[in-house]
A and B are shown apart, each in its own frame.
Chain A
Amino acid sequence: MSFEDDLRSALRREPAPEGFAARVLANANAGPGKVIPFWRRPTTFALAAALAMAAVIPAGVSQYRERQRGIEARDQLVQALAFTRVQLQQARGRVQHVSETVAQNAIRRKL
């Protein structure tokens, strides 16, 4: 066989399979395929989950930071109150000491 015969054989007309036209017409009349609603698509779920995470994570981080700030402030307040106590006790001690000294000096002078 020559090349021309091969080409002719490959390009020859062949009839459509039996019932092909009927199947094409039936599909055309059936309309578009089954459509998944927007809210049930996996991409919608993924997007919703991402948005929820984006909203929840910063709120959680902010809450955590606020708590840390509160604990730090509480610790500083306790330190400040403890220091105040020391200063008050020191002042009281000085007052007592000076009062005792003054009293002793007065007694000595009288004796």
Chain B
Amino acid sequence: MKMVLILLAGALAAFGQQGFDFKVLDKLGANATESANITLDGNTLKLATAFLGDKDVKGIVANLKGVYIRSYEFAKSGQYKEADLTPLRDYVKSRQWSKIVDVKEADETSEIYLLPISGDQIGGLVIISAEPKEVSIVFIEGTLRTSDIAKLGGNLGIPEIDLPREGRKPGKKE
């Protein structure tokens, strides 16, 4: 019996450590006319970092474990449910991320969450931006300094680039 309890506790702990499953956000883009998905896990990030020229960007990216982008555009408003963002919000709440920005302006919202670690270090950054015809999510996992966030918000030698979006017919699922 003890053994079973130990195994169960271990399994629960392992489950608790798992990252966010982005598949749950697929529903969000079910009716999108255009979408952009970027998934860079730890190994891919290491590989990408080796080809980066800018030292500042390299410094920021060096300790990241994952970078995930989901962005969907819709032909009409009301084509996604606000509730489809609930799993992500629940995830960050359950992991005790701090909501540092929560702006609601007309029918547009911006939320920024940080995972505090210690001092000026954070364990991740999540941005949720929702408009009637567009919803975007940025999920960055890994150690960052708060000053890195300011750098990311600036130019930092990153060129102006539009996300390559895949066009899809409304209603067509991926």
Contact = CB atoms under 8 A, between A and B. Distances in A.
Interface string A42-74: 000000000000000000000000100111011
B13 interface: no
Contacts of A98: 103-105
Interface in A64-111: 66, 69-71, 73-74, 76-85, 87-92, 94-95, 97-98
Contacts of B45: 73, 77
B61 A85 contact: no
A76 B103 contact: no
A73 B42 CA distance: 11
Contact of A76 (B38, B129, B149, B153): B38
Nearest to A73: B48
B155 to A, nearest CB: 8
Interface residues of A, number: 26
Contact of B40 (A73, A85, A88, A97): A73
B127 A73 contact: no
Interface string B21-62: 000000000000000101010001101111110000100010
B105 A94 contact: yes
Contact of B101 (A66, A78, A95): A95
A33 B125 CA distance: 82
Interface in B119-136: 125, 127, 129, 136
A78 B103 contact: no
A95 B103 contact: yes
A70 B69 contact: no
B158 A91 contact: no
Contacts of A87: 110, 127, 129, 136, 138
A97 B105 contact: yes
Contacts of B47: 66, 69-70, 73
A79 B163 contact: yes
Residue among A80, A85, A90, A97 with most chain B CB within 10 A: A80
Interface of B: 36, 38, 40, 44-45, 47-52, 57, 61, 67, 69, 71, 101, 103-105, 108, 110, 112, 125, 127, 129, 136, 138, 140, 149, 152-156, 158-161, 163-164
